[in-house]
Structure 1
Amino acid sequence: MRVVSGIQPTGDLHLGNLLGAILRWVRMQDEAECLFFLADLHALTVDVDPAILRGNVREMAAALIASGIDPAKSTLFAQSAVPAHPELAWILQGTARMGWLNRMTQWKDKAGKNREGASVGLFTYPVLQAADVLVYKATHVPVGEDQKQHIELARDIAVKFNNDFDVELFVAPEPYIGGGTAARVMSLRDGASKMSKSDPSEASRIHLTDSDDVIAQKLRKAKTDPEPLPDDPELLAGRPEARNLVGIMAAVTGESPAAVLQRFSGQGFGAFKPALADATIALLAPLRERLIELRNDPAMLDGILAAGAEKAVELAAPTLHEAYRAVGLRS
């Protein structure tokens, strides 16, 4: 089993990133061979500040390592350091079809009404995503609900390429359900919206670098309702903010939502929020300290990424060569 996944180096990771993806990645390291990359090529599909991007790659690498990604267990690298990614993506653009890409819901969402003004890269983004996975013959890809369509596209591209060129080169990857449960963390100001860096309100999210006092303050001010907590998660239906905070507590402590409610059944948020703050701080404080240490050693971070890229280049090379040969560009 080989697992491949990437994350865009946008800087300022928040609790939603940690509970929704990164801690799941950490658990995966003990279940499969894992390659994790900083998707800096994908970052070019929208307006980007070149001066900020390089720093964000280091920052994201530091955050992943601080959170538990172990370079001794997993291959960690920057996508742009492995030319096989964009090279294979170009080859696969001859296999992918406009109709397939037009159906991508993320393209529709991100381009909005200004499709004519969106970059070509944003439109073909899923083809590069397919190359990211297929170049390593990944068997499984951990994805959220919003990315399942892209894995289906990667499977379609793999099958069509193999059929078109009468080869058995690409593995059609499966969505990966290992690594335990990933929490869907919502905004602290709106239980119907995901926690996001793009939200204009700083109070909507908890950054991995927030101080203990700031974490406690944000959770104390998190939007809730006046009702006490029930004893059954089903009774949180129609209470999105309450469900969100209970879900965060469950993810932070490793409990089930039902177990959390058993502890706090009948109590209000005046009692629940301080306990949630304590649990969140206990999780994030050591990560923050490690992140600060790593930030102060950019040479070490660059060395880890370089070693990871060297291994990734070696793993990708045979697949890329065979793809070139299949289409008639190599002997």
Structure 2
Amino acid sequence: MQTYGEKETLSLRKTMHKITTKPKLVKIRSANQSNKYGIAAINLKELIKKGCNLIKVSSSGIQVCLYEDGTVVTEEYFQNLPDNTELVLLPEGQSWNGLVHEINQVLGFDRHTDLLISAAKDLLSDEQSPKRRRILGDLLRNLRDNSEVESREEDKEWFEGIDARFKTKSAYMKYNCQNRVRGYLKEVDGYTQTIPNAKTKSEYKKVVEILAERLKAARYNGTYFDRSEKDVLRLCTEEGWFSCQGAFDENNCTFLHSINPYGNRESRILFSTWNLDHVIEKKRTVIPALAEALKGGKSGDINVDYFYKLLFTRENLKLVHIVCHKKGAHELRCDSRKIYKRVRTVK
């Protein structure tokens, strides 16, 4: 039996919970109906439950995505959505390609969108407004979406300009990511020439060799861009959608940038402008800190794992749209407690 004090505490906790978990107001609909419903929910689970009751569908296998562009909404993504965001509830097996889906239905298009593409091109050629040009450009990229296919034979246009040894989109995207990471290793190695002290330079080279071996064993972390990899290893959805993770000093992207480079050649090329940004800066901070730590010391004293994670892994890397890539100094330092190995003194 609860005492008076316990009941009072429980009541206070419930009150505080109501205060700190403010419901988010969103609008939901199904892919097959134009009716929209306003819902207040504190999390994605509650949204799905309420939404499925309203549109009369089973909640089993339901996926939530943005009405605007089809981006899949996770729990974390949901918590950062602005109020009145329009969402679509999709039963298992259904897909949503954003506003393009609506346009296709209105104009009577199914998979053949040549007429709509031609009309959008004509409008784009005469349009002067930057905002409208961007909208038309996004529309064209989505209309040409061919992300459901994977092989070179199925989407030859996507592979234009790509070496013939790449037979699938995933293989090329993995290579693309590996190239970026190899570039980071090259920068680490190149710093060797700036170290004046011969002994420090020698120890630095040893660390670089260790980092290179680890990267080689990890296949240069190419899994980050490969949609065929397991969910925990990639930065995209199973369909190939990437979402901007926001500037280095922000928890999320306020612009909700997203892109699917698997969809068409234009999106693939545009994705090359997105950055794998180091939160603690590589050139200004991490590499100099490594060299400084080796002054008067040995490579065996260094916590190589710490530097490996800072230089080459998602622990210190964020995928960001070019707009969210802040080029000024981040003014973040390496953790001095993690630079060296902990050495136990033996008496």
With the length of structure 1 as denominator, give the TM-score of the two structures: 0.24
Q: Larger Rg: 1 or 2?
A: 2
